[in-house]
Amino acid sequence: MYNPLAPSRAAFYSAAFPGMGQIYNRKYWKAPIVWGALGTSIFFYLDNNNEFKRFRRAFRARSNGFQDEFTVINADGTTTETVSVETIERAQEQLRENRDLSLLTTAILYVLQIVEASVNAHLLQFNTDDNLTLRPTFINTPVQIETPKLGVTLKYNF
């Protein structure tokens, strides 16, 4: 039975809650994949963001002449920097790039799961009956028996 609203409904459900469009299409095994993919990219976004903020705080403290978490106070009262300012700057840049890439990956995965739910809802409505087949066959001609010819049979029933 053809339902023209099924693809838009599946896309809406996926947009409202990721994986719900796959459940609406009765493809239950796809929902954990969607959740795992989005959860992984969100985890990496949050992890890179926290590390970026950590190095950013250290850079700001060191730039203002304060002690940061990478500065160790020795027993004689002197301070030793375990990480240089250049290393902190490079770490900030790398973590910012990783954070932005994780955010982009999350957005792409979110859009892809919506598109996948919609396309799957469209494809579920196609007729995939055995009466609609395309099968290659070998045709033997009585003139040239030793060299079979390849042909295509299109079977189309109403």
pLDDT tens for 103-117 read 999 999 999 999 999
pTM to 2 decimal places: 0.74
- pLDDT digits over 2-35, tens only? 777 789 999 999 999 999 999 999 999 999 999 9
Number of other CB atoms surrounding residue 7 within 10 Å: 20
User: What is the residue whose two structure tokens read 């609406």?
Assistant: 24
